[in-house]
């Protein structure tokens, strides 16, 4: 009898001990009513009076959302699936607010996803997937507040449009690529023509500038040559003038004129068959005297003019 009593007492003691693991909770009821929430650690309950009614984990949990159909704003039927990441933050509300919080949340995610996809056209569902995920999370959290569970994030795994739509999209993408290629090619041709025209323009400008610089340099060279020739001639005339004014200058001039006469006469009829001859070829002294007479007259008239 003592042994039976001790055995019953041991069973009662063991039945009153509850060990709760980390990141877990236990909902305890007393005669069917909520009593307390047990967190991680060792706890004691009253056997036959209290019982653990619900067990919840506080870890983040991934809930797979099965494939479902949704209709976009432009009336295209899509097959969409996703993953929902949730976490219980209020064990009591999760126990008494809804029968199965994870199932309720998955159903809410499906309806919310269909509603959000119906607000945008097909192209936007692919382009704005991240904004679509945020919108679904926001709507789920607003609806799941009484359930003590929060949606951390939602990820759309895949979006499957019908095969006809996929083929049409592929054709559209191919057409867009051809269009961009043609535009790029035409832009390249246009730019090549512009570059060639600009190169020809620059070439003509450079050639004209070079021609202008060449003409200026030639003109400057001719001007300098003429100036130097004039200076040399003026210098020679001045030297001759001074020499004539000296004693014996006229005889020197006569000798020079005679030498020039003989030299010029020796070149006659070498390059041309037509020639003009003086009346008295055999008398060079007469030619010299005539030239000197002309020189004296010009000299006297220049002196009178200077007076």
Please state the length of the chain: 307
| Res. 206: pLDDT tops 70 | yes
Residues 175 and 227 occupy one common structural domain: yes
pTM given for the model: 0.50
Q: Is residue 276 part of a domain?
A: no
| Res. 260: pLDDT tops 60 | yes
Do 87 and 60 form a contact (C-beta atoms < 8 A)? Answer: yes
Q: What is the C-alpha to C-alpha distance for residues 145 and 249, in angstroms, rounded to an integer? A: 136
Residue 69: its pLDDT value, please?
A: 85
pLDDT confidence tier of residue 218, bands split at 50, 70 and 90: confident
Q: Is residue 33 part of a domain?
A: yes
Residues 156 and 240 occupy one common structural domain: no
| CATH code for the domain in which residue 155 is found | 3.30.479.30
Q: What is the pLDDT of residues 142-178, one digit of tens each?
A: 888 888 888 888 888 888 887 777 777 778 778 888 8
Residues 65 and 157 occupy one common structural domain: yes
Which residues partner with 158 through β-bridges?
A: 81
Residues 214 and 288 occupy one common structural domain: no
Residues 188 and 219 occupy one common structural domain: yes
Residue 213: its pLDDT value, please?
A: 87
Q: What is the C-alpha to C-alpha distance for residues 52 and 33, in angstroms, rounded to an integer? A: 11
Which domain range does residue 301 map to? Answer: 247-265+282-307
Last residue in a domain, options 161, 194, 223: 161
Sign (positive or negative) of CA dihedral 46, 48, 50, 55: positive
Residues 72 and 149 occupy one common structural domain: yes
Q: What is the pLDDT of residues 267-301, one digit of tens each?
A: 555 555 555 555 555 555 666 566 566 556 655 65
Count of alpha carbons within 13 Å of 54, Cβ hemisphere only? 24
pLDDT confidence tier of residue 3, bands split at 50, 70 and 90: low
Q: Is residue 241 part of a domain?
A: yes
Residue 174: its pLDDT value, please?
A: 82
Residues 49 and 89 occupy one common structural domain: no
DSSP run (H or E) holding 24: strand 24-30
Residue 181: its pLDDT value, please?
A: 87
The burial of 271, by beta-carbon neighbours within 10 Å (0-12 exposed, 13-18 middle, 19 or more buried), is given as exposed
Residues 78 and 138 occupy one common structural domain: yes
| Res. 107: pLDDT tops 80 | yes
Residue 72: which of 143, 163, 162, 134 has the closest Cα? 162
Residues 231 and 174 occupy one common structural domain: yes
For the chain, how are helix, strand and coil distributed in percent, rounded to 5? 60, 20, 20
Q: What is the pLDDT of residues 60-101, one digit of tens each?
A: 998 888 888 888 888 888 888 889 899 998 998 888 888 888
Residue 293: its pLDDT value, please?
A: 65
Annotate 239-298 with DSSP letters as a single string: HHHHHHHSTTHHHHHHHHHHHHHHHHHHTTTSS-S-----S-TT-HHHHHHHHHHHHHHH
Q: Is residue 26 part of a domain?
A: yes
| Res. 135: pLDDT tops 70 | yes
Which percentage of the chain shows pLDDT scores above 70? 73
Q: Is residue 288 part of a domain?
A: yes
Hey, what are 191's tokens?
């730019």
Query: What's the structural domain count of the chain?
Result: 4
Residue 304: its pLDDT value, please?
A: 60
Q: Is residue 48 part of a domain?
A: yes
Hey, what are 6's tokens?
């001790």
The burial of 186, by beta-carbon neighbours within 10 Å (0-12 exposed, 13-18 middle, 19 or more buried), is given as exposed
Of 41 and 126, the structure prediction assigns the larger pLDDT to 41
Residues 167 and 148 occupy one common structural domain: no
Q: What is the pLDDT of residues 123-132, one digit of tens each?
A: 788 777 888 8
């Amino acid at each position: 009898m003592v042994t039976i009593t001790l055995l019953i007492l041991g069973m009662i003691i063991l039945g009153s001990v509850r060990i709760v693991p980390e990141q877990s909770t236990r909902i305890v009821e007393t005669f069917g009513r909520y009593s307390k929430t047990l967190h991680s650690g060792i706890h004691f309950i009253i056997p036959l009076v209290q019982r653990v009614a619900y067990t919840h984990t506080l870890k983040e949990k991934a809930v797979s959302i099965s494939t479902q159909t949704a209709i976009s704003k432009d009336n295209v039927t899509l097959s969409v699936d996703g993953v929902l990441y949730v976490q219980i933050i209020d064990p009591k509300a999760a126990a008494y607010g809804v029968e199965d919080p994870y199932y309720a949340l998955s159903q809410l995610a499906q309806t919310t996803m269909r509603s959000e996809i119906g607000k945008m056209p097909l192209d936007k569902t692919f382009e704005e997937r991240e904004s679509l995920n945020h919108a679904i999370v926001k709507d789920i959290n607003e609806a799941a507040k009484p359930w003590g569970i929060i949606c951390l994030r939602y990820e759309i795994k895949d979006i499957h449009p019908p095969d006809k739509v996929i083929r049409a999209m592929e054709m559209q993408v191919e057409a867009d690529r051809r269009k961009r290629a043609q535009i790029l090619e035409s832009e390249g041709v246009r730019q090549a023509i512009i570059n060639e025209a600009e190169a020809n323009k620059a070439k003509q400008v450079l050639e004209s500038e070079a021609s202008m610089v060449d003409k200026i340099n030639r003109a400057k060279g001719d001007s300098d040559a003429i100036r130097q020739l004039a200076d040399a001639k003026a210098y020679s005339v001045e030297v001759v003038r001074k020499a004539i004014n000296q004693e014996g200058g006229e005889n020197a001039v006569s000798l020079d004129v005679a030498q020039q006469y003989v030299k010029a006469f020796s070149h006659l009829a070498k390059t041309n068959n037509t020639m003009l001859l003086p009346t008295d070829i055999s008398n060079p002294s007469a030619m010299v005297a005539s030239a000197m007479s002309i020189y004296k007259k010009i000299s006297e008239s220049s002196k009178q003019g200077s007076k």
